Homo-oligomer: A and B are copies of this chain.
């Protein structure tokens, strides 16, 4: 960023997470991986840049996603509250299954820790249970690695698999076209990403987590540890409908996640909400530029549905029945590429 006048403005890169550098390293890894197994080992479904990998095994298509809750665990450790991040480790994964329209089936967790504390594990277990119940996954195993030389606290990751019930195809975004509507489903606060930046701001401003921020009902620490919303019910209700063209899970990468769906669509999010409540509070705390904010956090909409703009009220009624009466149209699709929030003067061309 540079320039003295901007020194007070925080970005994710300034907090230590440079998305460009991650992308470069990942490309270096992927360039080395060229092997394609013989068909007797299953047939990978080629979908570029999507939320979940997919492989055709016999008559089934299996989707797989893996993710961690990142540094949100450090806030959990500081406040000795682990149930929320336990739920989040399921949430971050099943929402990526939801984004391809796969029905969640099974989950495995990975806990790295320096010392296995039964109380911490019990709370994590309670959260995992909530996540499984909300998404319909069975816990099929996991890994507990005691690695005191690698980390001091805990890291929490997992992998979920899902499938496509009879006749349902993966929802890839391929059929998205100009004129489609973008429906947004609100989030319950931050998703489990961007906490390296959030924690830096809390620290720098010596924020007292035991008190509510102005206008909030619960202590700030508790508010920041609320688990993310689970959107598998939304996906289950809509996947397979011919008018539903794409789903996006708005996690790390913020609204840029939409660009993963279709490179020939321009997502004009003229109804995307300006940050309110906790999002607004964090933006002000870090003087985070809008352009940085929308590519780092969900800012109030955690999942998007792209659909043909016919029978929209029927879709919204269906969403209401599936537990999302708060869904609403937040934008539309034009010809071109990228994402823009015209009312907020923000534009992005690609994902990373």
Contacts and interface: CB of A to CB of B under 8 A. Distances in A.
Interface string A36-76: 11101110100000001111011110101111101101100
A1 interface: no
A137 B71 CA distance: 30
28 contacts: A17-B148, A25-B121, A25-B144, A28-B121, A28-B122, A29-B111, A33-B132, A35-B132, A35-B133, A35-B138, A36-B138, A37-B137, A42-B105, A53-B106, A53-B140, A54-B140, A58-B59, A59-B60, A64-B108, A64-B159, A64-B161, A68-B143, A71-B149, A74-B149, A149-B199, A150-B153, A151-B151, A157-B157
A140 B97 CA distance: 13
Contacts of A16: 146, 148-149
Interface in A102-155: 103-106, 108-112, 115-122, 124-126, 128-129, 132-133, 136-151, 153, 155
A217 interface: no
Copies in the complex: 2
Contacts of A137: 37, 41
A29 B126 CA distance: 7
Interface of A: 16-18, 21-22, 24-38, 40-42, 44, 52-55, 57-60, 62, 64-68, 70-71, 73-74, 103-106, 108-112, 115-122, 124-126, 128-129, 132-133, 136-151, 153, 155, 157-159, 161, 163, 165, 196, 199
A150 B72 CA distance: 10
B122 A31 contact: yes
B41 A125 contact: no
B28 A118 contact: yes
Nearest to A199: B149
A110 B68 contact: yes
Contacts of A59: 58-60
